[in-house]
Amino acid sequence: MYIGIADDGRKIGICRFDYLPAETTAEVFLTLNPEMRGMGLSSELLRMSIDTLSEPLGPDTRLWAKIRKQNVPSVRCFLAAGFQQCSHKEDWVFFTRSL
Protein backbone atom coordinates (compact mmCIF):
# COMPACT_ATOMS: atom_id res chain seq x y z
CA MET A 1 0.00 0.00 0.00
CA TYR A 2 1.27 3.47 -0.90
CA ILE A 3 0.03 6.64 0.75
CA GLY A 4 0.47 9.93 -1.08
CA ILE A 5 1.23 12.92 1.16
CA ALA A 6 1.13 16.52 -0.07
CA ASP A 7 3.84 19.04 0.83
CA ASP A 8 1.54 20.52 3.47
CA GLY A 9 1.07 17.11 5.13
CA ARG A 10 -2.44 16.37 3.86
CA LYS A 11 -3.08 12.85 2.63
CA ILE A 12 -3.56 12.77 -1.14
CA GLY A 13 -4.83 9.22 -1.27
CA ILE A 14 -3.98 5.55 -1.15
CA CYS A 15 -2.89 3.14 -3.87
CA ARG A 16 -3.13 -0.51 -2.87
CA PHE A 17 -2.03 -3.62 -4.75
CA ASP A 18 -3.48 -7.04 -3.91
CA TYR A 19 -0.83 -9.40 -5.29
CA LEU A 20 -1.66 -12.99 -6.23
CA PRO A 21 1.71 -14.73 -6.72
CA ALA A 22 0.21 -17.93 -8.17
CA GLU A 23 -1.36 -15.90 -10.98
CA THR A 24 1.41 -13.26 -11.22
CA THR A 25 -1.26 -10.55 -11.06
CA ALA A 26 -2.05 -7.63 -8.79
CA GLU A 27 -5.38 -5.86 -8.48
CA VAL A 28 -4.97 -2.10 -8.16
CA PHE A 29 -7.16 0.04 -5.88
CA LEU A 30 -6.86 3.82 -5.95
CA THR A 31 -8.68 6.03 -3.44
CA LEU A 32 -8.28 9.80 -3.40
CA ASN A 33 -8.98 12.19 -0.54
CA PRO A 34 -12.11 14.12 -1.65
CA GLU A 35 -10.35 17.41 -0.82
CA MET A 36 -7.59 16.56 -3.30
CA ARG A 37 -9.74 15.62 -6.30
CA GLY A 38 -9.55 17.56 -9.55
CA MET A 39 -5.86 18.45 -9.15
CA GLY A 40 -4.36 15.67 -11.29
CA LEU A 41 -2.83 14.03 -8.23
CA SER A 42 -4.40 10.60 -8.73
CA SER A 43 -2.40 10.07 -11.93
CA GLU A 44 0.81 10.99 -10.16
CA LEU A 45 0.04 8.75 -7.16
CA LEU A 46 -0.79 5.82 -9.45
CA ARG A 47 2.34 6.33 -11.57
CA MET A 48 4.67 6.61 -8.59
CA SER A 49 3.11 3.57 -6.91
CA ILE A 50 3.51 1.45 -10.04
CA ASP A 51 7.12 2.61 -10.47
CA THR A 52 7.91 1.63 -6.87
CA LEU A 53 6.25 -1.77 -7.28
CA SER A 54 7.81 -2.69 -10.62
CA GLU A 55 11.22 -3.78 -9.32
CA PRO A 56 10.14 -6.14 -6.51
CA LEU A 57 7.41 -7.85 -8.57
CA GLY A 58 9.12 -7.94 -11.96
CA PRO A 59 8.01 -7.30 -15.54
CA ASP A 60 5.89 -10.47 -15.87
CA THR A 61 3.31 -9.22 -13.37
CA ARG A 62 -0.03 -8.09 -14.82
CA LEU A 63 -1.90 -5.28 -13.10
CA TRP A 64 -5.65 -5.00 -13.34
CA ALA A 65 -8.34 -2.69 -12.04
CA LYS A 66 -12.13 -2.69 -11.83
CA ILE A 67 -13.72 0.76 -12.13
CA ARG A 68 -17.35 1.86 -12.21
CA LYS A 69 -18.28 3.11 -15.69
CA GLN A 70 -19.58 6.40 -14.34
CA ASN A 71 -16.26 7.17 -12.59
CA VAL A 72 -14.86 8.98 -15.63
CA PRO A 73 -11.94 10.66 -13.79
CA SER A 74 -10.70 7.27 -12.58
CA VAL A 75 -11.10 5.72 -16.03
CA ARG A 76 -9.02 8.57 -17.51
CA CYS A 77 -6.40 8.19 -14.77
CA PHE A 78 -5.88 4.49 -15.48
CA LEU A 79 -5.84 5.00 -19.25
CA ALA A 80 -3.19 7.72 -18.81
CA ALA A 81 -1.13 5.24 -16.74
CA GLY A 82 -1.00 2.79 -19.65
CA PHE A 83 -3.92 0.55 -18.72
CA GLN A 84 -6.13 -0.78 -21.51
CA GLN A 85 -9.77 -1.71 -21.23
CA CYS A 86 -10.05 -5.49 -21.46
CA SER A 87 -13.72 -6.13 -20.65
CA HIS A 88 -16.85 -4.79 -19.01
CA LYS A 89 -19.72 -6.20 -17.00
CA GLU A 90 -22.85 -4.34 -15.96
CA ASP A 91 -21.66 -1.09 -14.30
CA TRP A 92 -17.97 -2.06 -14.26
CA VAL A 93 -15.08 -1.64 -16.68
CA PHE A 94 -11.96 -3.79 -16.34
CA PHE A 95 -8.48 -2.57 -17.22
CA THR A 96 -5.11 -4.30 -17.43
CA ARG A 97 -1.47 -3.56 -18.16
CA SER A 98 1.96 -5.11 -17.78
CA LEU A 99 4.11 -3.99 -14.92
Q: In CATH, what number is assigned to the domain containing residue 71?
A: 3.40.630.30
The three state secondary structure string of the chain is CEEEECCCCCEEEEEEEEEECCCCEEEEEEEECHHHCCCCHHHHHHHHHHHHHHHHHCCCCEEEEEEECCCHHHHHHHHHCCCEEEEEECCEEEEEEEC
Q: Is the pLDDT of residue 40 over 90?
A: no
pTM of the full predicted structure? 0.88
Q: Is the pLDDT of residue 73 over 90?
A: yes
Amino acid at 55: E
* % the chain with pLDDT above 70: 100
Please tell me the total count of domains within the chain: 1
Q: Which residues on neighbouring strands pair with residue 4, listed in sequence order? A: 13
Q: Which domain holds residue 30?
A: 2-98
pLDDT at 28: 96
Q: How confident is the model at residue 65 (pLDDT cuts 50, 70, 90)?
A: very high
Which of 60, 51, 42 has the alpha carbon at shortest distance from 98? 60
For 56, how many CA atoms within 13 A lie in the half-sphere containing its CB? Answer: 8
